[in-house]
Amino acid sequence: MLASASPRRLQLLERVGLTPDLLNPSDIDEIPHKRETPRALSIRLARGKAERALEMPLVRAEGPNAFVLAADTVVGLGRRVLPKAETVDEARDCLSLLSGRSHWVYSTVHLIAPGNKVSSRCVETKVRFKRLSREDIDSYIASGEWRGKAGGYAIQGRAEAFVRMLTGSYSAVVGLPLYETVHLLEGAGYPVFHSWMTAPQSEV
């Protein structure tokens, strides 16, 4: 079960042959606590989403053998948490701050497995943007891809053209660190590779 409404996270799971039996988004307050670092925020929100999902009727109906997976991605500039941009002004502020600089993306995956076994990983990825011109920012804002995205950009779209360097996990920046996700599921006893063998073959 995936505790997320993000189509990007679902697509990432499907890319590695995993299709959740249930999609059950869990809404929690995502406002950072005072002096909370971007990394700590990512860890807290992923855990909170998983724990909230576990209480929901649809998840309870799955029984004691449910695997509940949640994730959260936060963009940080130093100790500063950049918002999930919802307005043009927020997006412009984010892009202006990221222009010509390196920032960190913290993507946490949190798993609650049968028997209430809990495991999680926070993946840190360093991303450096080129220096953005006014035209870069204006045209990206016009695309609308920034809306609701941490840091005001979606790396899997036009903003990938802004990235000079990425050190870490590309899938984590998109929203779900695939290596760590598969590792946690496998370690908790989820039949990851059985899913690969039984899934329809895809064309590469």
**Domain region containing 41:** 7-198
User: Is residue 169 included in any domain, yes or no?
Assistant: yes
How far, CA to CA in Å, does 13 sit from each of 71, 145, 172, 192?
A: 12, 21, 12, 11
Which of 144-148, 186-190, 191-195 shows the lowest mean pLDDT across its residues?
Answer: 191-195
How are strands ordered across the β-sheet holding 68-77? 80-82, 68-77, 102-113, 117-129, 163-167
Q: Which two tokens stand for residue 139?
A: 């045209």
Q: Bigger pLDDT: 53 or 202?
A: 53
Integer angstrom CA distances of residue 163 from 40, 171, 200: 25, 14, 34
Q: How confident is the model at residue 16 (pLDDT cuts 50, 70, 90)?
A: confident
pLDDT at 170 over 80: yes
**Would you say residue 183 has pLDDT above 50?**
yes
Q: Which of 21, 27, 72, 89 is catalytic?
A: 72
pLDDT value of position 58? 78
CA distance 141 to 109: 29
Residue 177 resides in a domain: yes
Contact call for residues 125 and 105 (beta carbons, < 8 A)? yes
Measured CA to CA, the distance from residue 159 to residue 140 in angstroms comes to 7
Asked whether residue 170 is domain-assigned, the answer is yes
Query: Is residue 72 annotated as a catalytic residue, yes or no?
Result: yes
Checking if the pLDDT of 201 tops 90, the result is no
Domain count, the chain: 1
C-alpha–C-alpha distance, residues 79 and 81, integer Å = 7
Residue 133 lies in a domain: yes
Rounded average pLDDT over 75-87: 96
Q: What's the whole-number mean pLDDT along residues 46-50?
A: 95
Whole-number pLDDT of residue 4: 76
3-state secondary structure 147-166: CCCECCCCCCCHHHHHEEEE
Which CATH number covers residue 170?
3.90.950.10
Residue 102 vs residue 58, higher pLDDT: 102
| 197 pLDDT tier (thresholds 50, 70, 90) | low
